[in-house]
Amino acid sequence: MSRSLLLISLLICLLGAAHAARADQRLVHAERSLYREVLVYENGDVRCMCFTRNCRVGRQSCLDTRHPNRMVMHYPQLMLGALYVNPAPQSVLIVGLGGGTLPRALRQLLPDARIDVVEIDPAVVRVANRYFDFAASDKTRLIESDGRVYVKRALRTTQRYDLIMLDAFDHEYIPEHLLTQEFLQEVKSLLTPQGVLAANTFSSSRLYEHESVTYAAVFGKFFNLKQENRVIIARPGALPDAAQLRATAEQFKGPFRSFGFDATQVLPLFTQERDWNPGARVLTDQYSPANLLNLER
């Protein structure tokens, strides 16, 4: 068989497998909000929230209905790697609720911490409550607001956070006003001196290099963890070395095992190696991702 025919056969097989995977999904809920369509699919014991039909542009959050503690997706595991940089945050801000995987996990890991979750879409909140075991409480506060609006308002108060997690997505990608240098500077100003930022992004996109230089412009060096998604972990001060990360990870081996993974398996992903063009243009409020994508079409 020629190389071209082999490639065509492989592509047909992959498309067939993808179609079969979608066919196995059962739609259990759908509602349209002011911002997007919010859908819930089930495939066996796994229930997922998606913002596109058949989860065409990825899954926002997934829950194992038989083992609710197990983290089905990899990116929340990487996000929890922020605890290797600051293992005992007392105040946490999460921008973007999804199904509530991160606030539920952090509530178990940090029973005394104050956790603020900001979500712009009431439909996402309703679905997270009904289908993904999320529940607000006295120590897990849910704020229905645009993430940037909340950050700006918080800066006017004395409120500061030991851990900030950016996990806000629309049906295509991160909203453009949550990607700019100005926004990241505001987030940095909201961190305590020992605070840490974890940001969930894509591991490959036309914005990858621009995102990278934007984070570098605000934070300098940062950890760049890649496994399906890319998670950026940064802080205002110096980053810990490999020995410090290893020692801190040991503290979480037991707790993380309850989520279905080994705390040390994330360690090899902690790298500061630059895999982007440092000459790429920084994203700003005047030079937004939407404009960038229009220029590249």
Active site residue 167: yes
Q: Is-contact 222 215, C-beta < 8 A? A: yes
Side-chain half-sphere CA neighbours of 204 within 13 A: 2
- The residue annotated as part of the active site, out of 116, 121, 162, 167, is 167
Question: Which residues, including other chains, have CB under 8 Å from residue 112's CB and lie 6 or more apart?
Answer: 90, 139
Please give the structure tokens belonging to residue 111.
């029973």
User: Tokens 């900030």 correspond to what residue?
Assistant: 164
Quick check: helix, strand or coil at residue 34? coil
Burial (CB count within 10 angstroms: exposed 0-12, middle 13-18, buried 19+), residue 56: exposed
40 phi, psi to nearest 5 deg: -125, 125
Q: Return the closest-CA partner of residue 270 out of 241, 238, 235, 247.
A: 241
8 Å CB contact between 200 and 167: yes
Q: Which amino acid would we find at residue 209? A: E
Nearest CA among 159, 177, 158 for reference residue 168: 177
Which residues are paired to 48 by β-bridges? 41, 62
d(CA 152, CA 181): 14
54-59, Cβ contacts within 8 angstroms, sequence gap of 24 or more: 54/22, 54/25, 55/22, 55/25, 57/171, 57/172
Instruction: Give me 117's structure tokens.
Output: 């979750």
Residues carrying an active site annotation = 167
